[in-house]
Structure 1
Amino acid sequence: MKRDPLLQHDSSFVDSAPAVVANVLDPIEEWLYSAPRWLPTAHAQTIVPALFGRKPAVSYRRERWDTPDGDFIDLDWLAHTSRDVASTAPLFVLFHGLEGSSDSHYARSMMAAAEARGWHGVVPHFRSCSGPLNLLPRFYHLADSAEADWILRRLRERHAGPIVAAGVSLGGNVLLRWLCERGTDASIISAAAAISAPLDVHAGGHAISQGFGMVYTRSFLKSLKKKALAKLAQHPGLYDPNAVLAARTLHEFDNVVTAPLHGFRDTDHYWSSATTRAHLKHIEVPALVLNARNDPFLPESALPSQAEVSACVTLDQPNHGGHVGFMTGPFPGRIDWLSQRVFGYLEHFLSRG
């Protein structure tokens, strides 16, 4: 199988990294993704895993944290059923995607992988995503790095072992923004992985506002509008309910709800602030950035090259996989390639914890 040059380490990273990580991607062929023939299109590779993928059974224990601003978030901790886990075992933190949760197919798959390795695992829910509506007149957003910082630092205070983190789609963007902003201060975690993050939010927003992409947009808006109207019942006068109902694209919805609620002038200001592509060169912690070139949520032209990113960043850009898809095997398929790829990367950096 031919080696993809985008998957090769920058030599300066290998030279400067601890010896334990020198061969993180060898043999690289182990991780080259190939889509099954029965999933021939980007949309099939995206939709089938999300709707029909066989999610492993994992158990969670919920914990509620009060936030410094008078709100709350819910964290679902992996509840190991077959063994006791040492307090110093690695902790895997997963930030979910837009309107996702600990029950999302990728979350269950990765928590099952953590359990199999004897790791701790936790899914911190963004505000309003754990079931009950949060209290304040705000939700969560693509640039919510301050929330990630508070969560990760509190986890660092509590956990005795190394911490690694991953983020999926929106959660991946939040994690990358935090890594870009914090530089060496992000070394409270040993390594990170961002999966299908919208590295150029303008390009991604445009991609799902036309053609078949509107299928995804309508699905998101159905959930987001319901929450937005419930938030109006909590806090009357926040925004115009008719404008919420009239929104046909995420750009229109963000202009009415997300941007003004979170301190942005408008959608364009919000999306520009949330875009991470130009800032990936500031990352100082080992990070895997995984994006399929056929992701319906982000055009291939928006993907960075290795020359644009920090030597600490490993780009993995397979030709196929869709958006958070990466299904493998004969029908009905498996959804565990993604978790194996992510953990195969992260586990090499545990000595940094």
Structure 2
Amino acid sequence: MLEYKPCFLFRNKHINTCFPTLFRKINIEYKRERIDTPDGDFLDLDWIKNGNDKVIVLCHGLEGSSRSKYIQGTARYFSERGWDVLAINYRGCSGEMNRKLTFYHMGYTEDLETTLKETSQYKKVALAGFSLGANLVLKYLGEREEYPKNLICGVAVSPPCELVSNSVQFRKRENFIYRKYFLKKLKEKVKLKSEIFPNTINMKLMDKVEDMEDFDNLFTAQYNGFIDAIDYYEKTSSINFIPNIKVKTLILTPLDDPIMSKKCYPIKEVDENKFITLEMPKYGGHVGFASLFSKVYWLEKRVYEYVNEIEENK
């Protein structure tokens, strides 16, 4: 197994987390496809097709997209090694607002299931998620009685497995930069929703929101059928679904991830499930694994190494 050995700079968890987003230069060319969802909305899917018989489906994190650096890095690495790539953009994340009042959330696996139907022509499918997308992948794999016949494995990078304790961790002073960043983007998106759906969202209260749990109480839970934010967190935490996963899966979470609580490391659950491998590198930050001089990051190498090993044994 590859080992991540960062330079001194990237042994700082916050620098490692932020560096790729701010400074990594990568620009992948996709071909976009828009598909309709069963409930009358749409999804924008970004493809790299090279006529291969295997494809990796990539699921981004909170307020990310197919343009997120970790998605593009993984897409490029796989496409250069004989894989087609499908990068999903969640509702409202493709550059165009979706049609429904709500967009996506930590446990909305229905759109992932819809996306996977678009890969039925492939002989082999791998599924990889990052942060929020990692929670989605694990929840999807744990809640389904049957998988698509061509699904060979899953990968979850930095999944916030236990969302109640993760919410507490996220409120710590050291994480104020991440809170500010995500809340700004989410509140802008909700403002657009309020203009499309007038008299539905209390924007006076929304403008005062300074915490993710408050945002989830006011918007996510209210418009997605949950009692409140805690109910939402409890019902969508992937740690509850990990025991039921029945396909080879890698969970990769660095020990220095700044936004992960101790309960987000599912050691006990993994020990009791032979299908899952848990790796906890000393460094890496949150979906970071940054490098100063290499255009290829350790993260995409490790994801490929795992998936390739599974694929070769199928």
Query: Which TM-score band (shorter chain)?
Result: over 0.9
Q: Which of 35, 45, 52 is the matching residue for 2:23?
A: 52
1:161 aligned onto 2:123: yes
Displacement over 3 Å in runs of 4+ = 306-309, 331-335
- TM-score normalised by length of structure 2: 0.94
Tell me the CA shift for residue 257 of structure 1: 0.8
Q: Which of 116, 136, 140 is the matching residue for 2:80?
A: 116
1:131 aligned onto 2:95: yes
Which residues of structure 2 form unaligned runs of 5+? none
CA distance 1:35–1:351, shift in 2 (3 Å): closer
Structure 2 match to 1:322:
285
Structure 1 match to 2:310:
349
Q: Which of 68, 73, 79 is the matching residue for 2:38?
A: 68
Which residues of structure 1 form unaligned runs of 5+? 1-27, 80-84
**Conserved 8 A contact 2:17-2:284:** yes
Tell me the CA shift for residue 251 of structure 1: 0.2
Identity of aligned residues (%): 31
Tell me the CA shift for residue 239 of structure 1: 2.1
Paired AA for residue 302 in structure 2: R
Q: Deviations over 1:205-236 (max 9, x none)?
A: 21121212111011001110011010011111
Tell me the CA shift for residue 183 of structure 1: 4.4
Query: Rg bigger for which structure?
Result: 1
1:86 aligned onto 2:51: yes
SS in 2 for 1:212: helix
Q: Which of 192, 199, 204 is the matching residue for 2:154?
A: 192
Q: Deviations over 1:238-260 (max 9, x none)?
A: 22111111110110001111111
Paired AA for residue 15 in structure 2: A
CA distance 1:189–1:290, shift in 2 (3 Å): same
Give the aligned CA root-mean-square deviation in angstroms.
1.8
Q: Deviations over 1:252-299 (max 9, x none)?
A: 001111111111111000011111123311110100000011111102
Tell me the CA shift for residue 344 of structure 1: 0.6
CA distance in 1, matches of 2:32, 2:272: 37
Paired AA for residue 44 in structure 1: I
CA distance 1:274–1:164, shift in 2 (3 Å): same
1:98 aligned onto 2:62: yes
CA distance in 2, matches of 1:279, 1:309: 13
Tell me the CA shift for residue 301 of structure 1: 4.7
Structure 2 match to 1:140:
104
SS in 1 for 2:173: coil
CA distance in 2, matches of 1:277, 1:165: 18
Structure 1 match to 2:14:
43
**Conserved 8 A contact 2:179-2:211:** yes
CA distance in 1, matches of 2:286, 2:77: 20
- The number of residue pairs the alignment matches comes to 313
CA distance in 1, matches of 2:148, 2:162: 22
Please show how residues 1-353 of structure 1 align to structure 2 within 5 Å: 28=1, 31-55=2-26, 57-78=27-48, 85-88=50-53, 90-152=54-116, 154-157=117-120, 159-185=121-147, 187-305=149-267, 308-328=271-291, 331-332=292-293, 334=295, 336-350=297-311
CA distance in 2, matches of 1:291, 1:172: 10
**Conserved 8 A contact 1:183-1:284:** no
Structure 2 match to 1:9:
none
**Conserved 8 A contact 1:74-1:130:** yes
Tell me the CA shift for residue 160 of structure 1: 2.8
**Conserved 8 A contact 1:281-1:308:** no
CA distance in 2, matches of 1:352, 1:185: 18
- TM-score normalised by length of structure 1: 0.84
